[in-house]
């Protein structure tokens, strides 16, 4: 049975692929497309009256937006990184401390029963919102960065290995790549600022420069890259995603090992064949056909060509002639 999305649907992510469990705490999360083309793991709906406004999210037509939805009857969703019990939270609001404690008890009970083996504790909350790079990383560990007007996305592999995430009719993932060398170019930019000693070490090791694949197409092209779709499946919005997108937001401290300091080779578009125009010399001048006029031109014109002076004189004579014709007909 083939599954197709409605043409008015705002997201191509299926709920079956959006349901997941956090690899750090084992708590159930639901992945949703965000309003800014990113993705976010959200908790199930909870009453919004005791949740601070800056932690409230709601879902509208499959897309996650910040803030509470008034139509949801006083319920909202929380971003899971903000309440994940596996992470040490700084400046935790009192309203969320009880939620984190309850989730922590559930996590420890799952570990004690042998139902869950947690991954290494992340260093920051932002890492919880990223897909696991080890599942899709290239064999040699090289990951390229994609840039568009300052927005940086880290690919799971090299450009030519980024695979379309659309689902085929048989349920398999589309094998096509998303790379089109005509839609971008390699560009050297400054490494984004990172505070502290670690940030200074990164700047020293990279000389403050990094090579990124800068997208040069229109915004439609950029969306195709960020949504990780090939040219065929981007036009068909009714085809669902096979899985989550693998492009993540670039962060200097977490992704310092993937900074490319040497320009990659082999991504330039093929050179266009040069065309030569053979000039046969200047054209023969065409002389104005006006009486007593010696003006001429080398531009391609009609045989009965009049220069602008003779053309103005001819129009004036024609107007005078028509006026006399009206006068004669009136008599």
Read off the pLDDT of residues 43-57 as tens digits, 9 standing for 90 and up: 988 888 888 888 999
Last-in-domain residue among 96, 129, 162: 129
Strands of the sheet with 145-148, listed across from one edge: 184-190, 209-215, 145-148, 151-154, 248-249
* Residue 84 three-state SS: coil
The residue segments making up the domain with residue 92 are 15-129
In total, the chain counts a number of residues equal to 331
Tell me: pLDDT of 128 over 80.
Answer: no
Range in 185-189, 261-265, 293-297 the model is least confident about: 293-297
One domain, residues 118 and 76: yes
Max CA-CA distance within the chain? 118
Range in 4-13, 23-32, 131-140, 281-290 the model is least confident about: 131-140
What's residue 215's pLDDT? 92
One domain, residues 253 and 158: yes
Burial 299-308 (b: 16+ CB within 10 A, else e): eeeeeebbbe
Last-in-domain residue among 129, 144, 169: 129
Tell me: pLDDT of 132 over 60.
Answer: no
Helix or strand (DSSP H, E) at 286: strand 286-287
What's residue 135's pLDDT? 45
One domain, residues 114 and 138: no
One domain, residues 114 and 153: no
Read off the pLDDT of residues 1-14 as tens digits, 9 standing for 90 and up: 456 665 566 677 77
* Number of alpha helices (DSSP H) and beta strands (DSSP E) in the chain: 7, 14
Last-in-domain residue among 111, 129, 147: 129
């Amino acid at each position: 049975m083939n599954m197709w999305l409605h043409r008015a649907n705002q997201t191509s992510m299926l709920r079956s692929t959006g349901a997941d469990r956090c690899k750090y705490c084992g708590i159930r999360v639901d992945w949703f497309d965000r309003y800014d083309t990113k993705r976010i793991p959200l908790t199930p709906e909870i009453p919004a009256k005791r949740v601070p406004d800056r932690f409230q999210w709601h879902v509208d037509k499959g897309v996650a937006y910040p803030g509470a939805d008034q139509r949801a009857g006083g319920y909202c969703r929380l971003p899971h990184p903000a309440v994940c019990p596996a992470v040490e939270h700084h400046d935790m609001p009192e309203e969320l401390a009880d939620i984190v404690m309850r989730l922590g008890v559930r996590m420890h009970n799952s570990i004690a029963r042998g139902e869950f083996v947690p991954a290494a504790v992340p260093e920051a909350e932002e890492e919880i919102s990223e897909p696991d790079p080890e599942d899709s990383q290239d064999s040699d560990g090289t990951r390229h960065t994609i840039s568009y007007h300052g927005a940086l996305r880290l690919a799971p592999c090299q450009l030519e290995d980024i695979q379309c995430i659309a689902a085929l009719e048989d349920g398999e993932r589309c094998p096509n790549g998303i790379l089109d060398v005509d839609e971008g170019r390699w560009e050297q930019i400054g490494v984004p600022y990172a505070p502290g000693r670690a940030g200074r070490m990164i700047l020293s090791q990279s000389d403050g420069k990094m090579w990124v694949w800068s997208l040069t197409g229109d915004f439609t092209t950029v969306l195709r890259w960020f949504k990780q779709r090939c040219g065929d499946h981007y036009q068909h919005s009714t085809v669902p995603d096979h899985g989550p997108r693998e492009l993540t937001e670039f962060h200097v401290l977490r992704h310092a090992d993937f900074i490319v300091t040497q320009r990659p080779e082999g991504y330039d578009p093929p050179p266009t064949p040069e065309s030569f125009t053979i000039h046969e010399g200047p054209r023969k001048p065409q002389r104005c056909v006006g009486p007593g006029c010696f003006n001429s031109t080398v531009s391609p014109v009609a045989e009965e060509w009049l220069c602008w002076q003779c053309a103005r004189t001819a129009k004036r004579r024609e107007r005078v002639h028509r006026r006399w014709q009206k006068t004669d007909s009136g008599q």
